[in-house]
Amino acid sequence: MRKDLGDFQTPLELVELVLEVLNDSGQNWGRVLEPTCGSGNFIEGILRSGYMPDEILGFDIQESYIQECQRLKKLDTNNVVNVRSEDFFQLNLRELDWKSGGDLLVIGNPPWVTNSELGSLGSDNSPRKHNLKGLKGLDALTGSSNFDIAEAIIIKLLRDLERENPTVAMLVKTSVARNILEYASQQGLPIESCSIYRIDAKKWFNASADACLFCVKLGQDRFNYSAKVYDSLENAQVETTIGVVNGKMVANLQAYENSRMIDGKCQFNWRQGLKHDLSKVMELSRTEGDLYNGFGVRATIEDNFVYPLLKSSDLSNGGSPRFSVIVTQKKIGEDTLYLEHSAPKLWEYLTQYKDLFDNRKSSIYRGKPPFSIFGVGEYSFAMYKVAISGMYKTPRFRVLGPLDGKPVMLDDTCYFIPCESAEQACLLGSLLNSTISMDFINSTTFWDSKRPVTKKLLQRIDIRALLEAVDKERLLESANQCLIELGVPAIDEQSNLEKLVFGDQMQSKIPFQQ
């Protein structure tokens, strides 16, 4: 079995559980389509279930799987199964050669591999290369355009079969289910109902992924972009209800109502930390006053290019910087050749590792000056910041001040607002750690994601609305405690909090979101 052609064959026991859930709906399907049938376990499960549709159509690109499906002839006493080798992405689903016209069920377990993984595997089993979601600029360049092949398969099914009003039931990653629901709302696809049943991917497939049975019913009468989420296939109790509100995905619709007043557009531009993709060279640890890189080599370089670094784990657990980082540029694309003369020790150090820099895989470094980094700008050098890790399941915002007279840098798994003063940073930090803010983050964040907290989420927090909603006395108390920890005088009770929060909008040095 090739990874790009079908990660996991579905065990018959799991097939039976899926069919039980579908049977509970009470609907009878005259036709069944399995677009990536593999060895035919779903079709076998249907044939053994006692319920017999008029027609079952199955496709798989691998001829060896089609040969395995020949065993189904012994069970197919009514001669309803038609299985053949086809490239799904080349099929016109609107013109399938159905012999009957009953209700349509589309079922299966499409590949869980992503399009970027297909490229690394050298596979041609993928949709036509294009920007599936219509992403723009850096989102398309830096990874947001990566998607699971299952996502492309289901989108094609929903588009091509829209007029058939099918029920689509697929085993997928839960992130794929959410992406499909959000995409359907953006495109106005006629989803009548939707549900998600969590499955134990470790148990069934020995896979470390959050997965589910994703059931979608299309219909022309009413559009519904919410989904009930069940703990398991065996559990009839609803765990939560997710859905799309004003074009944005919400993780808990009921909890969201308590904090929806701050869901809007952040007045600040959240920034991401430094990206260099070469930690063994660029990140240094200090031993007895000397700096050493990840290879254990002493780095004798000019101090004004070295800054304290907080990595995601340090930021989340409240720790201090364990590393320093080399910062070669003040802004993206800045010429670095001047370093040869202004920082000769640094230039010599970096030149030792030129081959490693040249072999960095990300396309963002192509055509850039030698030793370039990414995610750097004047905002990186703000002495005060409010920051959060994107990787951890317990959200916590931290206020960062200078260390030994230098601004603290963050790695690219962290997000931050650059601040013009300690007062602004402490007020913003207190606002963002408030109960209302945490309610909003928890109701809109999917904690099973690889990076639960994203810039897209943070940019939804309307700071002005949040300031209006919180208790001002508690806010001031929290902010002043923060200032004490930074060694800065407290804010007077008569101060204009709004002016301190929004400052002068820092139009030149630290840009704000317009």
Along the 514 residues of the chain, how does pLDDT read in single tens digits? 444 444 578 999 999 999 999 998 878 899 999 999 999 999 999 999 988 899 999 999 999 999 999 999 999 999 999 999 999 999 999 999 898 889 999 999 999 877 555 444 344 444 544 445 554 443 443 344 456 899 999 999 999 999 999 999 999 999 999 999 999 999 999 999 999 999 999 999 998 889 999 999 999 777 899 999 999 998 778 999 999 998 888 999 988 998 999 999 999 999 999 999 999 999 999 998 899 999 999 999 999 999 999 999 999 888 899 999 999 999 999 999 999 999 999 999 999 999 999 999 999 999 999 999 999 999 999 999 999 999 988 899 999 999 999 999 999 999 999 999 999 999 999 999 999 999 999 999 998 888 899 999 999 999 999 999 999 999 999 999 999 999 999 999 989 999 999 986 443 333 333 3
Q: Say whether 176 sits in a helix, a strand or coil.
A: helix
pTM of the entire predicted model: 0.75
Residue 409 is which amino acid?
M
Structure tokens at 450: 């690889």
Asked whether the beta carbons of 347 and 370 are under 8 A apart, the reply is no
Phi, psi of 6, deg, nearest 5: 155, 95
Closest of 434, 438, 441 to residue 457, by C-alpha: 441
Nearest-angstrom CA–CA distance, 7 and 125? 13
Nearest-angstrom CA–CA distance, 51 and 66? 23
Nearest-angstrom CA–CA distance, 436 and 444? 12
Structure tokens at 465: 């609305």
Nearest-angstrom CA–CA distance, 88 and 74? 26
Q: Is 334 exposed, middle or buried (0-12, 13-18, 19+ CB in 10 A)?
A: middle
Nearest-angstrom CA–CA distance, 348 and 366? 22
Q: How many residues does the chain have?
A: 514
Q: Helices 472-486 and 422-432: crossing angle, nearest 10°?
A: 130
CB neighbours of 43 closer than 8 A, spacing ≥ 6? 32, 34, 37, 56, 58, 69, 72, 81, 83
Rounded to 5°, the CA angle 287-288-292 comes to 30
Asked whether the beta carbons of 15 and 45 are under 8 A apart, the reply is yes
Nearest-angstrom CA–CA distance, 24 and 450? 33
CB neighbours of 163 closer than 8 A, spacing ≥ 6? 94
Q: Are strands 271-272 and 238-245 parallel, antiparallel or unpaired?
A: unpaired
Asked whether the beta carbons of 265 and 460 are under 8 A apart, the reply is yes
